Amino acid sequence: MEYRNLGRSGLEVSVVGLGTNNFGGRIDEVATRSVIDACFDEGINFIDTADIYGNRGLSEEYIGRALKGRRDRALIATKFANAMGEGPMSRGGSRAYIMRAVEDSLRRLGTDYIDLYQMHTPDVRTPIEETLRTLDDLVRAGKVRYIGNSNFAGWQVADAHHTARAGYYVPFIAAQNAYSLLDRRIEGELVPAIEAFGLSLIPFSPLASGLLTGKYRRGEPGPAGARLSSGGMAQRMLTDRNFDVVEELQRFADERGHTLLELAFSWLASLPYVASVIAGATSPEQVAANAAAASWRLDADELAEVDRITARR
């Protein structure tokens, strides 16, 4: 397993991370432990969760119990700001809410510190200075080691960076956004911003909701129970345009003796601004497949060819 520094910090995260949105939903506590055991076997040290995962809290609880007695083997990233209940005091980036949210996450995780505390979504109602000052206090108190953002636009990353610098607050060191071979929208503004200000990218949805796994074929029904087998997301994702790209990417991977899934992971891992690729898993077998998938490094010519295949009209 390869490890990379997260932003301009000394925190080294595995290039493949574990996404835990399934914990407390699709899988129970026993299965959660088996997945985390498999992560340690594969050298994965970065576990990403959020307070809202698992029906508002179960993901954190399951992770905390699975890590009991071995907390030092994992780097835990969790998030705040999305609604954990009704009303304005159950979400956002205000000092009043953050101070309560971090204590709740610490309790559920069964730990006295969080390695990376991330703002899950921007809060247009609260000045970013208030949020950053509060997070700075948490770092100084030892309850949080580092801070990051998620779903921010490029200008919001820039605004947060300059606000932190002006106030001498601890800055964000990472940005977590959707990014894949089928969704490269962040390259226009966010990627230049994180490169300019020294943040690392933590991509989520690297497999484009499963379309980059190779399980779906044009004109054929998807696997039973799979995310894209039916519903609105299937209508958005299973388009002719996407299949045109996927089929060409499949040929590219086949010619080099790799799978489409390996291409999806390895393309991200070949980008210098990417620190850890967040991938969900519901079984030890999926953990092993994800860990192995990122071992390929595309050279400059291969990256250029992938750019050609995935270029937007």
**pLDDT, tens digit, 9 for 90 and up, residues 69-108:** 999 999 999 999 999 999 888 999 999 999 999 999 999 9
**pLDDT per residue as tens digits for the range 99-142:** 999 999 999 999 999 999 999 999 999 999 999 999 999 999 99
pLDDT, residue 236, reads 82
- The region that residue 14 occupies, defined by phi over 0 for left and psi between -120 and 50 for alpha, beta otherwise, is beta
Say how many C-beta atoms besides its own lie within 10 A of residue 94's C-beta: 20
pLDDT, residue 226, reads 67
pLDDT band at 313 (very low <50, low <70, confident <90, very high): very low
Catalytic residue among 3, 53, 179, 216: 53
Judged against a pLDDT cut of 90, whether residue 217 lies above it is answered with no
Which residues of the chain form beta strands (DSSP E)? 3-5, 12-14, 16-19, 46-48, 75-80, 114-119, 144-150, 172-178, 200-204, 277-280
pLDDT, residue 73, reads 97
pLDDT, residue 223, reads 76
53 is a catalytic site residue: yes
CATH of 3-213+259-299 among 2.70.170.10, 2.40.70.10, 3.20.20.100, 2.120.10.70: 3.20.20.100
- CA 238/CA 189 separation, integer angstroms: 27
Residue ranges per structural domain of the chain: 3-213+259-299
pLDDT band at 248 (very low <50, low <70, confident <90, very high): very high
- The region that residue 214 occupies, defined by phi over 0 for left and psi between -120 and 50 for alpha, beta otherwise, is left
Instruction: Name the burial class of residue 168, with classes exposed (0-12), middle (13-18) and buried (19+) by CB atoms within 10 angstroms of its CB.
Output: exposed
**pLDDT per residue as tens digits for the range 138-170:** 999 999 999 999 999 999 999 999 999 999 999
| Mean pLDDT (whole number) for 189-204 | 98
- CA 27/CA 37 separation, integer angstroms: 15
pLDDT band at 312 (very low <50, low <70, confident <90, very high): low
| Mean pLDDT (whole number) for 216-235 | 74
